[in-house]
């Protein structure tokens, strides 16, 4: 069985049991990349706006901007560029490195979900 939102993501057939595989790249002090940060990158990519990405995620502009700023500092090149407002308005976009980071993270997520599906089904069979 697959997830209707992402056909490559397996889900368990029993809706009462929710299973998530969450990947994080982190140091002892901080998360460098995880599901929330990937969602921020995807939101910026889809909307062209840090503010709109935040609205869609239910996050303040300040929170989203702090995540973008941290990611830009953590990687060898910035992941997001922004342009200040003006007559033409502002905006934001993923850099080529940002696109690569997002694609690699999503690929790792799909691989982890696929690898975990069978063992998680085994665990489910052992639940009360």
> Tens digits of per-residue pLDDT, 96-126?
999 999 999 999 999 999 999 889 888 888 8
Q: Look at the alpha carbons of 53, 55, 57, 60 in this order and tell me if their dihedral is positive or negative.
A: positive
What is the token pair recorded at 100? Answer: 């690569």
Residue 70 has pLDDT above 50, yes or no: yes
17-51: pLDDT as tens digits: 777 788 999 998 889 999 999 999 999 999 999 99
8 domain residue, yes or no: no
The domain containing residue 90 runs over which residues?
34-109
| CATH number of the domain enclosing 90 | 1.10.10.10
Q: How many helices, marked H, and strands, marked E, lie in the chain? A: 4, 4
pTM equals 0.79
Domain count, the chain: 1
């Amino acid at each position: 069985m697959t997830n209707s939102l992402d056909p490559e993501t397996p889900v368990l057939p029993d809706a009462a049991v929710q299973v998530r595989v969450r990947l994080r790249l982190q140091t002892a002090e901080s998360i460098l990349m995880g599901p929330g940060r990937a969602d921020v990158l995807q939101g910026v990519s889809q909307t062209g706006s840090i503010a709109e990405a935040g609205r869609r995620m239910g996050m303040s502009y300040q929170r989203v901007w702090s995540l973008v700023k941290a990611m830009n500092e953590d990687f060898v090149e910035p992941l997001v560029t922004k342009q200040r407002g003006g007559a033409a308005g502002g905006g934001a976009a993923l850099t080529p490195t940002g696109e690569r980071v997002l694609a690699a993270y999503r690929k790792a997520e799909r691989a982890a979900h696929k690898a975990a599906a069978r063992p998680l089904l085994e665990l489910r069979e052992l639940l009360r």
